[in-house]
Structure 1
Amino acid sequence: MANSASGMAVHDDCKLKFQELKAKRNFRFIVFKIDEKIQQVTVEKLGEPAETYDDFTNSLPPNECRYAVFDFDFVTDENCQKSKIFFISWSPDGSRIRSKMLYASSKDRFRRELDGIQVELQATDPSEMSFDIIKARAF
C-alpha cells in the first residue's frame, strides 16, 4: 500500500468518498490531508452538494498544503449541462518546505488512486485557482 518514494499510504476512505462524489454526487468537493504521524492521506473535509466554489477555496488552509477534488458543474455553449472533476494540488508559498516536498512526492501516486479525474491544477496561491481559471479549464 505504501509508496516507496514517499512512504505514503492512502486511507480507504479517500477512495470511497471520491467514488461517492463521482457516482452519486453526494459531495461538491473533498479536501485531503497527509497525516504525517501515520504516513497516510486522509479525508479532512467533505463539501455538501449545495456548497459553492468559494466555500471550497475557503476550506483550504492559507499556509498548509492539501490535495482536493472539486466537482464543477457548467453549461456548454450548446446549452448542455456538464460536470468535470478537478484535482487540485494546493501548495501555498507560506507552507513548510518539508510539507511541500511531502505533498509533491506523494501527488502522482495519490492522484492515480482517484480514477475519474478530468482536469489537474497546481496552485501556490488563490489566484492560480480562481473561478475563472476553473471555468476556462473545464471547456
Structure 2
Amino acid sequence: MTSGVNVAKEVADLYDDIKFKKTLKVAFFRISDDKKSIIVDTENQVKWNQEDPYSTFVKMLPEDDCRYIVFDVSYVTNDSGDKTQLVFISCLQPRLPTRVLVLLAGPPSPLPSHARWFMPAPKATSRKSWNCRTSGV
C-alpha cells in the first residue's frame, strides 16, 4: 500500500493474466469510488485480437478522470525480432481536485511487487499527449 490506497487482488490477478497468458493487450485500472483502493476498470479493456488496439486505447482514455494502464506493447528489434514489453502508464487529468491528483500521483505503480516487469512509466495529462503513432504498436 502506498499513499493510503490498497490494491485489490483482482488487479494483481489481471496483471498476471496479461503478463503470462496474454489475455489482454491493454488493461485499465482506476481508483474505487470510495477512494480507498485501486480496482480493475472492467468497462475499458482491449483484447489482443482487437483491430487497431492503439487507436482503441486512445479513445478509451477518460477526459474527466484518471486511470492507471498496463499496455502490452509489441515491437521489432534488429537483433532478435518480435518482442513485447509491458508498459505502465499513469494518466492524470489536471482538472481534477488537488486531493484526488495527489492520491493518484502517489503510487508509482499500482502493482509494486510486479514493478520490475514494467518499462519506465509515461505520464499523460490529456488525450493530446497520445497524438503520436509508433509503427508496430
1:65–1:99: 8 Å Cα contact kept in structure 2? no
Output the CA distance in 2 between the equivalents of 1:33 and 1:80.
34
2:68–2:110: 8 Å Cα contact kept in structure 1? no
C-alpha distance after superposition, 1:12-62 (max 9, x if no partner): 100110111111111001100001416010000332112301111211211
% same residue: 22
Q: Which runs of 5+ in 2 are unaligned?
A: none
Output the CA distance in 1 between the equivalents of 2:49 and 2:125.
26
Query: Which residue pairs with 2:6 in the alignment?
Result: 9
Output the CA distance in 2 between the equivalents of 1:11 and 1:68.
15
TM-score (normalised: structure 2): 0.82
Tell whether 2:26 aligns with 1:29.
Answer: yes
Query: Which residue pairs with 2:83 in the alignment?
Result: 82
Tell whether 2:47 aligns with 1:48.
Answer: yes
TM-score (normalised: structure 1): 0.81
Q: Which runs of 5+ in 1 are unaligned?
A: none
Structure 1 SS opposite 2:96: coil
2:66–2:104: 8 Å Cα contact kept in structure 1? yes
Q: Which has the higher helix share?
A: 1
Task: Report the residue type matching 2:83 in the other structure.
Answer: K
Output the CA distance in 2 between the equivalents of 1:59 and 1:68.
11
Output the CA distance in 2 between the equivalents of 1:76 and 1:63.
37
CA RMSD of aligned residues (A): 2.3
Output the CA distance in 1 between the equivalents of 2:84 and 2:17.
15
Task: Report the residue type matching 1:82 in the other structure.
Answer: K
